[in-house]
Amino acid sequence: MIPFSILDLSPIVAGNTAAQALHNTLNLAQHAEQLGYNRFWVAEHHSMPGVASAATSVVIGYVAGGTKTIRVGSGGIMLPNHSPLVIAEQFGTLESLYPGRIDLGLGRAPGSDQATARALRRNATGPDTFPQDVVELQQYFQPDDSNQFVQAVPGNGLNVPIWILGSSLFGAQLAALLGLPYAFASHFAPNDLMQALSVYRAKFKPSEQLEKPYAMVAVNVIAADTDREAERLFTSMKQQFLAIRRGKARQMQPPVDSMDDLWSEFEQAGVEQALRFSAVGSPDTVLRKLTSIIEQTQANELIISAPIFDHEARKYSLTLTAQVRDALAAQQTEEVTIG
């Protein structure tokens, strides 16, 4: 069975607070754990009115402390915003508290606009030094070495799996060179997906962490009892992307019956192009779309983004998606048996 995981941004919905968004994140993770999802990742974004997961390491600790078995990690930590030593210490602490359950996904983008990046007080050349920073971070997790003057404590000697996240060929090449698992952000930037996967698999070099390529593909999945209801729920995400494209990011808005009066044809084309890697509909529709995505990408794992305004509707969507996952597994078992 191909594993399904969850990507969460702790969405702050209109009329609500960051506190409630974070409580919802833990509740969603607990629900995902009961449903047998593999990982629960949260992402670093800054100065975003609709995102409560900016202090990503803190949120990971909160989620890991409130769950028991599901892996918890970052999707991702934007390394240009931080010193590698600080991240090694943070994730060394998390691994010490929740051994065998912590993932460290790393991204190269700042996760914000340039003004916010400056406010984070990191060097503007951060993205240019990303490969060196990743290697430095890896070194902090190596076993105790008396010759290494600076050490991460906690951190050194701990097994914290590092992932490279990306939406272009750069991340694919780096993940392949370092022999690391790779996650592609096709849920909002699908253009280079197939080429990136091809480059990653072709150039992969085995490492101590990973013997062969392992690719996780991100996809938006919004499931409901009917296609019409799922499409309606999807309008909240469309409104978010529209607002960001207009430079006016805001809290997640309630779904609407129609987007026609909210965007121009040009804006509609841009948003739908960015979100085309989505499976939205009834369980049968989602099953059909995810089957196609898995066949197309040959992904080792799917990570599901399911931003829905109503928390209970979001949990129900994950329940239906877990049923789709199980149906896919049954199909694969039947194909193997027949073959």
Report d(CA 75, CA 96) in Å as an integer.
20
Report d(CA 101, CA 149) in Å as an integer.
29
In the block, residue with structure tokens 């240019």: 128
Q: Tell me the pTM.
A: 0.94
Encode pLDDT of 292-339 as tens digits: 999 999 999 999 999 999 999 999 999 999 999 999 998 877 665 555
18-34 helix and 56-65 helix, angle to the nearest 10 degrees: 50
Question: What is the residue extent of each domain of the chain?
Answer: 4-338
> Does the CA dihedral 241-242-247-251 come out positive or negative?
negative
The residues, ordered by sequence, that sit 6+ positions from 28 with a Cβ below 8 Å of its Cβ are 6, 8, 40, 311, 314, 315, 318
**Residue 312: Cβ-neighbour burial (10 angstroms; 0-12, 13-18, 19+):** exposed
**Chain CA centroid to CA 335, Å:** 30
Encode pLDDT of 51-84 as tens digits: 999 999 999 999 999 999 999 999 999 999 999 9
Encode pLDDT of 100-117 as tens digits: 999 999 999 865 567 777
Give the architecture-level CATH label for domain 4-338: Alpha-Beta Barrel (3.20)
State the DSSP string of 108-133: SS-SS-HHHHHHTT--TTGGGGHHHH
> In this model, does residue 268 exceed pLDDT 90?
yes
